[in-house]
Amino acid sequence: MSHSPASPLLQIEGLHVRVEGKEILRGVDLAVNRGEVHALMGRNGSGKSTLSNAIMGHPRCEVTGGRILFQGQDLAELPTDARARLGIFLAFQYPMAIPGVTVANFLRAALRATRGADAPVKDFRRTVTAAMDELGVDHAFATRYANDGFSGGEKKRLEMLQMSLLQPTLAVLDETDSGLDIDALRIVSEGINRLRSPERGFLVVTHYQRILRYVQPDRVHVMIDGRIVRSGGPELAFELEERGYDWLDADAGVGEAAR
């Protein structure tokens, strides 16, 4: 499908999603343009992770209404791997350990899966080494098993390394800052800031405002009970930190007017 340069990178229109028979998203509208960082905030259980998974095509997410457009293309019929090949990347809150698979082999498999071809070994090593140097990662990291026995900070280093290598057009970070100490939080923040570009968009999903002290968002959205009830600039995140979410509950209860 053709799209104009001015059309949003990601456009979500009236999205309704059920998980295991229960409606979680109740009409989400969201647009992320190229070059923008959007923060999606909300309490636990508000539907933030369901939105992240729906964008990536998780099979548990049943879209019952609305649509997700990426670069003008409707993603409805595309499986997760096809979405990844289009340039969508999802960083998880709790990355899975893969015992027996080294970081280097894991990264090479990810590149092969998204590009459809293997990079020559010499080129791959050069690319990984450069990415590690840029992120301040010890080269010995490549020989360890992916996420096996990793600290929270090491898991986040690996995700930022993946993102740096895959160079996605849209990066969705699903509460990737949850439970991190200050050093790990900086790793994630620096990874995002390094990869910000006029061609790339970010959706940073978070329960807390603290990552937004390091990553300046262009827009902040608040989700309550499966709907985005308020959107604004970076100042909205600081208002949430001061006032909590309770002051927006009334907005969540006004139905169509909240959207």
Residue boundaries of the structural domains of the chain: 10-258
d(Cα 37, Cα 97) in Å, to the nearest integer?
A: 28
pLDDT reading at 256 higher than 90:
no
Structure tokens that stand for 31 in this block: 């647009």
Mean pLDDT of 227-240: 94
pTM of the model: 0.89
pLDDT reading at 200 higher than 80:
yes
Q: Which residue has better confidence, 250 or 213?
A: 213
pLDDT score at 251: 67
d(Cα 13, Cα 233) in Å, to the nearest integer?
A: 21
Number of H helices, E strands in the chain: 8, 10
DSSP 47: S
3-state class of 79 per DSSP?
A: coil
Burial of 40 (0-12, 13-18, 19+ CB in 10 A): buried
d(Cα 36, Cα 102) in Å, to the nearest integer?
A: 33
State the DSSP H helix or E strand holding residue 172, giving kind and residue range, or none if neither.
strand 170-174
pLDDT score at 136: 80
pLDDT reading at 5 higher than 70:
no
Residue-wise pLDDT tens digits, 87-132: 999 998 778 899 999 999 999 999 888 887 777 888 899 999 999 9
Residue-wise pLDDT tens digits, 8-49: 999 999 999 999 999 999 999 999 999 999 999 999 899 999
Structure tokens that stand for 243 in this block: 């006032």
Helix residue ranges, H only, the chain: 48-56, 80-86, 103-115, 121-135, 152-166, 182-195, 235-243, 249-252
pLDDT score at 258: 38
pLDDT score at 259: 36
61-70/37-41 β-pairing = unpaired
pLDDT score at 252: 64
- The proportion of the chain whose per-residue pLDDT surpasses 70, expressed as a percent, equals 94
pLDDT score at 29: 97
Contact predicate 137/162, CB 8 Å:
no
Residue-wise pLDDT tens digits, 158-193: 888 999 999 999 999 998 777 778 887 888 898 899
pLDDT category, 253, cuts 50, 70, 90? low
The sign of the CA dihedral 18, 58, 259, 254 is: positive
Q: Name which CATH class applies to 10-258.
A: alpha beta
